[in-house]
Structure 1
């Protein structure tokens, strides 16, 4: 909504005690929270109250009984999938890595074997040997892996660094 209608503005000025704002990231985290913890699909506008609570924008209400209206299930599934994916990345339950391999038999197998040994579940892999920025004989591999948290991700990075897949 770009502009408030004069009737709505007049009503709000008479009846609203406080106005605050939440940003898109906070709304997305509220949508993910509601989906994951409460099993509710709520559109962005309907999740702003929860976003304000989750991000401590209503601390003046601490200790009081608070009701938040959840509304709207008119959620675009493409946007919802982006919110879920970003949420998994931010909570360290998923990570994306791109490494450069020598394009020869066995290189990809060794790389994925390291991930398997560390219990990182590969959910997507892309193998690219035609990018203009690549040297002939090299390939970029991008993987999306499910992880068990920040420490697990660091363990993966260290193992790949030790094997020469990640440079400082």
Structure 2
């Protein structure tokens, strides 16, 4: 069985050192309130293209022979791998072609083109485009660069493990997002060589549980992924090369659902002041949701693997998280249709210390009698107890009040 060698990771680090960022691994004091022990966050979203993919892509490109460099490279990707490969290929003067689905996020398509790659959009899914990658490889002699199932790529990602051991020498547990398995394979190989007793925990989106299913089956399993906020780690099948490393080195794989991913992204925004994509936030979600068994003596490093998230999506995540936390609420209030009643409602909300963000006033509700009017308020509050107090006060004034979901 072919396995990644520790020496290849050490060589990769020397090879790519000048072309990637040695990202920080600061302590997280906010996360310490949610789990046992001490916590650090490996900030891979600080890489030049916003994710850990810079490491593996650059190592692969630097390993190409002169003929392959001259011919150029090709890859199928809808996101982070595309951007990293395009950026480093352009920097090295290597022609790069990226095949992306027709509905790939516009910002990722624009970024990939902006980094200098030729982008070809075809098919509904990434799998649809892989036939074109194979054809370009055959007809034009381009070198395919796989996003994870490649020893050079795995070695590049493994350089993270070497950095963590130097930055947090007391580390006992590392929590790593899993997509195709390249990152966790490289990190686990590096860290277990130097620290055999270290625990390696993988985290997947529940909508794309390929690693967990494959470990249960004893072989890489093909699964149809569902839509997920963690699109960067949603793959249909983990790698043939990465799978043995998961079997040998990974202690556990846990699943995180969409609401838990939303909470983790919001936690990182509010408590750590960083913007992290869904796939990059699952390691923190595993801590927040109590999915990893930790002791007070543990020092845990969570990999924040990427920060390439659409800002419109961030806005929706903030609203949803505030709603779930009780800091946003919608109230439907029915009052008499007389001058002054609207002012009475909004004045009470203000007196109680809440803030009106949006208001609708209508007489058209079917369940409201003639002589009554409906007021729908979106308010900013301090939490559920604050909302409950406002509802009680409005009802004491004789108004019918319902909290809307």
Q: Same fold (TM over 0.5)?
A: yes
Aligned counterpart for 2:268 among listed residues 28, 31, 34:
34
Structure-1-length-normalised TM-score: 0.86
Aligned counterpart for 1:156 among listed residues 375, 390, 393:
390
Matching residue of 2:196: none
**Structure 1 alignment gaps of length 5 or more:** none
Matching residue of 2:353: 119
**Do the aligned partners of 2:256 and 2:285 also contact (CA within 8 Å) in 1?**
yes
Q: 1:107 to 1:98 in 2, by over 3 A?
A: same
Alignment of 1:141-152 (within 5 A): 141-152=375-386
| C-alpha distance in 2 between matches for 1:62 and 1:126 | 51
Q: 1:29 to 1:132 in 2, by over 3 A?
A: same
Which stretch of the first structure deviates more once superposed, 63-72 or 137-146? 137-146
Matching residue of 2:339: 105
Which stretch of the first structure deviates more once superposed, 128-137 or 47-56? 128-137
Paired residues, what number?
Answer: 168
* 1:129-153 deviation line (CA, Å, top 9, x unaligned): 2344544443321111122233322
CA-atom RMSD in angstroms: 2.2
Aligned to 2:285, the other structure's residue is in SS state helix
* 1:86-124 deviation line (CA, Å, top 9, x unaligned): 222222322221112333332211111221221221111
Aligned counterpart for 1:72 among listed residues 280, 287, 306:
306
Aligned to 1:154, the other structure's residue is in SS state helix
**Do the aligned partners of 1:95 and 1:144 also contact (CA within 8 Å) in 2?**
yes
Alignment of 1:38-77 (within 5 A): 38-60=272-294, 63-77=297-311
Aligned counterpart for 1:81 among listed residues 290, 295, 315:
315
Matching residue of 2:236: 3
* 1:13-38 deviation line (CA, Å, top 9, x unaligned): 33322111111111111111100011
Aligned counterpart for 1:138 among listed residues 351, 369, 372:
372
**Do the aligned partners of 2:262 and 2:317 also contact (CA within 8 Å) in 1?**
yes
Report the CA distance between 1:74 and its aligned residue. 1.8
Report the CA distance between 1:63 and its aligned residue. 2.7
**Do the aligned partners of 1:101 and 1:107 also contact (CA within 8 Å) in 2?**
yes
**Do the aligned partners of 1:157 and 1:166 also contact (CA within 8 Å) in 2?**
no
User: Looking at CA atoms only, which structure, 1 or 2, has the larger radius of gyration?
Assistant: 2
**Do the aligned partners of 1:27 and 1:51 also contact (CA within 8 Å) in 2?**
yes
**Structure 2 alignment gaps of length 5 or more:** 1-233
| C-alpha distance in 1 between matches for 2:316 and 2:347 | 29
Structure scoring higher RCO (CA < 8 A, sep ≥ 6) equals: 1
Aligned to 2:318, the other structure's residue is in SS state helix
